[in-house]
Amino acid sequence: MVHCVYTSSEKILTEIFPAVEISGRKNKRSIKDGFKTKGFMIQENSENKNSDPIRETDRKILFQESNSRCIICFEKNIKVLEIHHIIFRKNGGSNELENLCVLCRNCHAKAHKGDISIEEVFYAKIRCLYKLETAEKLLKSTSTIVNRIVLTSEKGGVGRTTLSILLSYEAAKEGKKVLLIDAAEFGFASISTIKDPQYLEYLKKTHALDPKDGITVDQYIFETNYTSLKVLPLQLYLNRTLYQASTHRMQLLDALNKIVLNYDMVFIDVDRTYSEARALSFLLADFAVIPIQSDRDGVMALKRTLRIIEMFNREKKLLPEKFGLSELQVLGVLLNKYRIKTNWERQRAFYFQKEFPKFLLKTYFCEDTKYPPFRNDYSIIPKPDSVMAFQITQLYRELKDNIELSRKEN
């Protein structure tokens, strides 16, 4: 009979592995029987048994991969957490990371008694490694996270286009790279912001572009008066290229998804007219801001808008994972042109607070007599000391805080 002193060297482990395989690793006695079947004699060397301590760096890695919790019961009291050998040292287990995990004192005792099987501990270890790998990938991808905000409402005349332009300017003033996507039917956002004088002449052209020309959507991005703000007239592009939803939606969505990765923030102006640009915008966006007025039509329009967002969220779940699109969340409902002058308007304000407490933004917009409410040019920047300038700054800050909170919660 071969005499074998137990060690943790790979050479001896290679020789004794068939014995462990025969035993099925069920318990200590079966493992010894397996050794005897292969002609080994087990003799524990008390001097060598604990001569190979666990390295401190390995301990840190183990606690990192388990998130400083027991991998079985998720106990997070650091005082009762211990390092456990999945294959016991006396049964041939090593001090390598693959054989180590973090258990609480209670689970550690159960594992040694056999109440928790080796397989159960092993699969718990695999789950921890998978979660760690997923978290690392998410951490690496945070550098390319783009806040894509769609401004939409099922009621016209609520200041949606003006808000999308002024919020884009506000973000550009911070030095962020901003893209304004104009997905509205008439394209007022792009007409008001694109500084190219030939653009208006370009709009007058009614003929469609020949697909053989190879004009791609990224070639429709125009400069503005702000160097860090650019505009993409998406509806115009779709009108000129005659894209069909049934055949080109996925390709165009993929192209838009790659374009927005070059920017820090993306604002999307979407009107209530159904179009392919509108559908793409809802699929592309992560967050929604809904401007409304505090009247009966505003309430009904808000409910319709929420149903549409829910519909597109269901469609997002059916899209391939390669797009990496997240569920569209409502950042807030903005009360625009807000005023309380009559008892009826006061009652309506109470109704909004009671009906939509989670959606209403703290910031609301009052009418500013110094800011022109209706002009063909939506890009007029309010004066720094005006009420409108103050409201835009407060709204932008609140939206950023809500985005940050939403990212943390998810």
Of 34 and 287, the one with more pLDDT = 287
Give the domain ranges of the chain: 2-140, 145-409
The SS3 call for residue 287 is strand
Task: Kindly indicate the confidence band of residue 44, based on its pLDDT and cuts at 50, 70 and 90.
Answer: very low
Find the distance separating the first CA and the last CA of the chain, reported in whole Å: 61
Would the pLDDT of 163 be above 80? yes
CB under 8 A, 24+ apart: contacts of 324-327: 324/257, 325/257, 325/283, 325/284, 326/286, 326/410
Task: Kindly indicate the confidence band of residue 25, based on its pLDDT and cuts at 50, 70 and 90.
Answer: very low
Q: The whole model's pTM is what?
A: 0.62
Would the pLDDT of 36 be above 60? no
Question: Residue 372: what pLDDT?
Answer: 63
Question: Residue 49: what pLDDT?
Answer: 43
Average pLDDT over residues 263-291: 90
Task: Kindly indicate the confidence band of residue 67, based on its pLDDT and cuts at 50, 70 and 90.
Answer: confident
Separation of alpha carbons 294 and 353, rounded Å = 11
Q: For domain 145-409, give the CATH number.
A: 3.40.50.300
Separation of alpha carbons 234 and 228, rounded Å = 19
Separation of alpha carbons 241 and 239, rounded Å = 6
Average pLDDT over residues 338-356: 74
Q: How many Cβ atoms are within 10 Å of 191's Cβ, its own excluded?
A: 20
Would the pLDDT of 128 be above 70? yes
Separation of alpha carbons 81 and 60, rounded Å = 13
Nearest to 241 by CA among 218, 268, 272: 218
